[in-house]
Copies of this chain bind each other. A is one copy, B any other.
Amino acid sequence: MFQIRTDLALEAREMYRETTQQEIPGVEVEQKEEDFALVTRVKVLDQQGSQIMGKAEGSYITIEASGLKKADADLKDSVSQLLAKELVHLLPKKNNLRTLIVGLGNWDITPDALGPQVVSKVLVTRQYFETYNKSEDATMTSVSAISPGVMGTTGIETGEIIRGIVEKTKPDLVIAIDALASRRMERVHTTIQISTTGINPGSGIGNKRKGLNQEALGVPVLAIGVPTVVDAATLANDTIGLVVENLSSQATKGSDFYKMLKGMSDEDKYSLIREVLDPYGANVIVTTKDIDMIIKDVSHIIANGINIALHPGIELKDVNRYLQ
């Protein structure tokens, strides 16, 4: 069956409900309205839920702050703090936590550069712990960070690189940052997804990678992602949906044509979409002209959130100041 590509658990669930008008079995959902953001917790509880969702079992927390479209710096700070709060709940309960931050994606391709940009803005501290041979500090925990590049530029699966580094440096936790695709442009730049499942093959824009998850790395992996593009297939699909809906409303209810429209199968839609997109080529994306600025902006918000969550001595006031 054709599925509009989304990396957001929230949207996978939305799509299922749109088609079936039911909640996905094996999936639990909880929503909470904050002043400036809607927080949705999707828990994929079992294999059935996982298969329907196309997402690994685990928790997916989505922060949607539609106000982020406007340049409101106070809101940005609030989102960083909310992200920090959510992260803190997910951190392993352990003193002197040691974290490796991994920025996935290609820094030379703007919509794919979110991970590397976050990495360039997080506060890296592991070298001090190593140099002074200490294991604890009142104001910070040990953080290392790397942006390994993508298979097209390294020739090596990112998972292999990270496994090598994890074996050498033995962190307690990996946080992986990646650019995502959404099915709705309104979520591009305004939505942050945190998941406890790590990164699993096939997700993320760019080449498929082997997993970055607890199974592969031997330590828990939190994934943080922000949609930076919409799949072009989504735009085509939206258009088809709207045309069909529009025509249906004009056709006599119950007429042959009405039935035909209503019965248009996913396969039919999919082959239409493929026909539409074929001349557009493989790498086609839908995004906004100001994607360069957006990536810069949102990578700040994420890096701030991580810095606050990991370093007890850092408050928002400080992180804004440490970062350029």
Q: Which residues of A approach B to under 8 Å, CB–CB?
A: 69, 71, 73-74, 108-112, 120, 124-127, 130, 142-149, 151-157, 160-161, 163-169, 184-186, 205-206, 229-230, 232, 235-236, 238-240, 242-244, 246-247, 250-251, 255, 257, 260-261, 272-273, 275-276, 279-281, 283-293, 296-297, 300, 318, 320-322, 324
Count of this chain's copies in the oligomeric assembly: 4
B276-A235 in contact (CB<8A):
yes
Identity of the chain B residue whose Cβ is nearest the Cβ of A123 in the assembled complex: B155
Secondary structure of the A contact surface, majority rule: helix
Q: Which 6 A-B pairs have the closest CB atoms?
A: A164-B164, A73-B321, A126-B155, A144-B155, A185-B280, A239-B239
B residues in contact with A244, CB < 8 Å: 243
B residues in contact with A160, CB < 8 Å: 165, 168-169
A124-B168 in contact (CB<8A):
no
B residues in contact with A146, CB < 8 Å: 148-149, 154, 156, 161
A125-B155 in contact (CB<8A):
yes
A185-B284 in contact (CB<8A):
yes
Identity of the chain B residue whose Cβ is nearest the Cβ of A240 in the assembled complex: B243
Identity of the chain B residue whose Cβ is nearest the Cβ of A261 in the assembled complex: B247
Q: Which of B110, B120, B235, B290 contacts A291 (CB 8 A)?
A: B110
CA–CA, A202 and B230, complex, Å: 27
B residues in contact with A232, CB < 8 Å: 235, 286
B residues in contact with A155, CB < 8 Å: 124-127, 130, 142-145
B293-A108 in contact (CB<8A):
yes
Q: Determine how close the nearest CB of chain B comes to the CB of A41; give it in whole angstroms.
A: 24
B residues in contact with A142, CB < 8 Å: 155
Identity of the chain B residue whose Cβ is nearest the Cβ of A145 in the assembled complex: B154
Q: Given A125-B155, A145-B154, verify A288-B281 contact (CB < 8 Å).
A: yes
A127-B151 in contact (CB<8A):
yes
Q: Given A164-B164, A279-B185, verify A286-B286 contact (CB < 8 Å).
A: yes
CA–CA, A291 and B289, complex, Å: 12
B residues in contact with A148, CB < 8 Å: 146, 148
> What would be 24 A-B contacts, judged by CB atoms less than 8 Å apart?
A109-B293, A120-B153, A127-B155, A127-B156, A146-B154, A148-B148, A156-B169, A161-B164, A165-B165, A186-B281, A235-B236, A236-B239, A242-B276, A247-B247, A247-B261, A250-B260, A283-B289, A284-B287, A284-B288, A285-B286, A285-B288, A286-B286, A287-B287, A300-B324
